[in-house]
Amino acid sequence: MTKAIAPSATLNALRVGILFFIVSLTSGCLMAQYTAGTLAVVDIANDRVSAGVLFDDTRLELTLLGKIHNDEEINKQSHINVNIKNGVILLTGESPRREITERILTLARTFEHTRQIVNQIATIKISDNKSRARDLWLLGRVKWALVTSDDFDEKVQANTSVIVERGIVYLMGIVTREEARVATDIIRKVPMVKKIIRVFEYLD
């Protein structure tokens, strides 16, 4: 007799598989994502991209972070964060040297899965730990505002990534224009948000 597998069990197994994949690569990359002031909740049941695309995004993100981390010159002269949604790469952070940014862009262009590169690397002095701690605190405030809003439902949350860099909030994901407007209106009310930059793909 074939035993039926509950959908929730299958979903949990897939989540565990993705988590294992992430952890097994490199703790350094995970720390880079964490210190970026980034939060993207993986909810495969509500995601508007396939599990295969999600896997490709995760693999590409960690691979690119690894290449940046392993390049001694880039690593010493920049603070770079990588976030990817549906093949769209968002690069944030700082580097005082434009040529370092160009090298990072060259690395990003080498991946087959890349559909678009959005360069938001500022040509300024590298941020310090105090600035990054403020970004993490602000990220928590922004996420709390979104998840506690009655206008921002779970499906939209599952398709929205929030990144905070020097007080600037970046939004990524696949949403409708109305969903993007709602998210923006909610975040505008959060204290200490300097600017909101939308890197959304629209369904309409």
Distance CA(36)–CA(32), nearest Å, equals: 6
The pLDDT tens digits for 108-122 are 999 888 999 999 999
Residue 164 scores a pLDDT above 60: yes
Write the CA distances from 130 to 12, 77, 196, integer angstroms: 37, 18, 21
Residue 26 scores a pLDDT above 60: no
Helical ranges in 50-128 per DSSP H: 51-70, 72-76, 98-109
Work out the pLDDT band at 51, boundaries 50, 70, 90: confident
Q: Where are the domains of the chain?
A: 8-202
Work out the pLDDT band at 2, boundaries 50, 70, 90: very low
For the whole model, what pTM was predicted? 0.77
Distance CA(79)–CA(44), nearest Å, equals: 30
DSSP string spanning 24-35?
A: HH-HHHHHHHHH
Q: Per the structure block, which two tokens stand in for 131? A: 């600035």
Residue 24 scores a pLDDT above 70: no
Q: What residue has token string 């949350």?
A: 157
